[in-house]
Amino acid sequence: MPNFFTGVGHYIPTQTISNLFFNEHTFLNEQGETLTQDNATIAAKLKQITGVEERRYAREDQVTSDLGYMAAAAVAISDAGIDPETLDYIIFAHNFGDVKFNTIQSDTVPSLASRVKHLLQIKNPYCVAYDILFGCPGWVEAVIQANTFINAGVAKRCLVIGAETLSRVVDPHDRDTMIYADGAGAVVIEKSNDEKGIKAHLSASFANEEKDYLFFGKSYNNSNCPNTKYIKMSGRKIYEFALTQVPQAMKKCLDDSPYEIQDISKIIIHQANEKIDEAIVNRFYRQFKMPVPENIMPMVIQKLGNSSVATVPILLKMILNGEVENHKINEGDVVIFASVGAGMNINTFIYQF
């Protein structure tokens, strides 16, 4: 029996950061040399490649678990209309824990899921709270885990959160910093009494040479503390990997489902990079010798940036709220969810609304 989202929530930070914010940054290359292009040119090229014009940053008094709590408690649980005491699992997907503003230390003890459970004032000790680190596909993977728990009969109702404050772990001298953002999304997932919900899923990890395509590395400013690490990526390798592996995974998942390619209404994909996502979807449909249908892939990275595990649930809630122009989800629609990120990990599931 498929399992269904009974509540969906998101929290989008209120602090809007435009590309102009980076005008005074000193961007360097890996050798610590100043880039020859001026910052306006760098920002224009970033927009051309990734689509990013703006991103959202958390307030200085907020950390990742706060964002997750606000997405879960204020929206998803309310949307589901449930008593939090009835939750069997709280699964919190993130990558860097709670990093306070203007610090470099990650705080993950206790788990962020335990912190959210505490904030929700849940007394039930059999509501199990734990975190998952799976790169940007973490929220999708947590949904797959919750679905498995329910199918195995060990849970009836789960809360799945994805939240991140990437603005706290970026190198100010690396132009890739301009992609990243903060945010949170959450769903309540329960056993369905009809055929709605998750119909197929697939996960994969590539951990040979792909392991270091996304990593924690030193600042490009060689005078900075050499022991301070920041999120780094090998953009070209990630692009080639994603184009090769993600469309294949999506097709395999669709093949394992009861649907045909013509049944797909939407593709909700991790908002990593506009050009990468467009290329993935083009390559996916090419496998079926089909053009990409109009309005199949909503995008919000232009205004929200890449908030890692939070991008997929945020986008889902925005569509359901009617906040994404020319996109809506109707009852009966079949949607492919997909993500790719550090690990390198890929996952996807097919869901009927």
Domains of the chain by start residue, with CATH: 3-195 (3.40.47.10), 198-352 (3.40.47.10)
Q: Where does the pLDDT of residue 161 fall: very low under 50, low under 70, confident under 90, or very high at 90 and above? A: very high
Give the pLDDT of residue 2: 65
Can you give the length of the chain in residues?
Answer: 353
Residue that has been written with the tokens 């940053």 in this structure: 57
Taking residues 73-80, report their average pLDDT: 89
Residues 6+ apart with CB under 8 A from 321: none
Taking residues 172-201, report their average pLDDT: 91
- The CA distance from 157 to 140, in Å, is 17
Taking residues 135-141, report their average pLDDT: 97
Give the pLDDT of residue 224: 67
Could you give the 3-state DSSP secondary structure of residue 98? strand
Instruction: Quote the tokens at residue 193.
Output: 């009494």
> Higher model confidence: residue 310 or residue 20?
310
Pair 80, 6: CB distance under 8 Å: yes
Pair 344, 135: CB distance under 8 Å: yes
> Higher model confidence: residue 20 or residue 314?
314
- The CA distance from 223 to 245, in Å, is 38
Instruction: Quote the tokens at residue 235.
Output: 């953009």
Give the pLDDT of residue 36: 85
Pair 192, 319: CB distance under 8 Å: no
Residue 225 has pLDDT above 70, yes or no: no
Give the pLDDT of residue 103: 86
Number of Cβ within a 10 Å radius of residue 322: 10
Instruction: Quote the tokens at residue 100.
Output: 């306070």
Give the pLDDT of residue 3: 63
Residue 120 has pLDDT above 60, yes or no: yes
Residues 6+ apart with CB under 8 A from 221: 26, 28, 32, 171, 173
Number of Cβ within a 10 Å radius of residue 106: 16
CA end-to-end span of the chain, whole Å? 14
Residue 1 has pLDDT above 70, yes or no: no
Summary mean pLDDT of the chain: 93
Q: Where does the pLDDT of residue 313 fall: very low under 50, low under 70, confident under 90, or very high at 90 and above? A: very high
pLDDT tens-digit readout, 83-99: 999 999 999 999 999 99
Taking residues 117-146, report their average pLDDT: 97
Q: Name the helix (H) or strand (E) containing 335.
A: strand 334-341
pLDDT tens-digit readout, 317-344: 999 999 999 999 999 999 999 999 998 9
DSSP state for residue 211 in the 8-state scheme? G
Q: Distance between alpha carbon 191 and the CA centroid of its chain, in Å?
A: 24
Residue 177 has pLDDT above 80, yes or no: yes
Taking residues 264-280, report their average pLDDT: 95
Q: Name the helix (H) or strand (E) containing 187.
A: strand 182-191
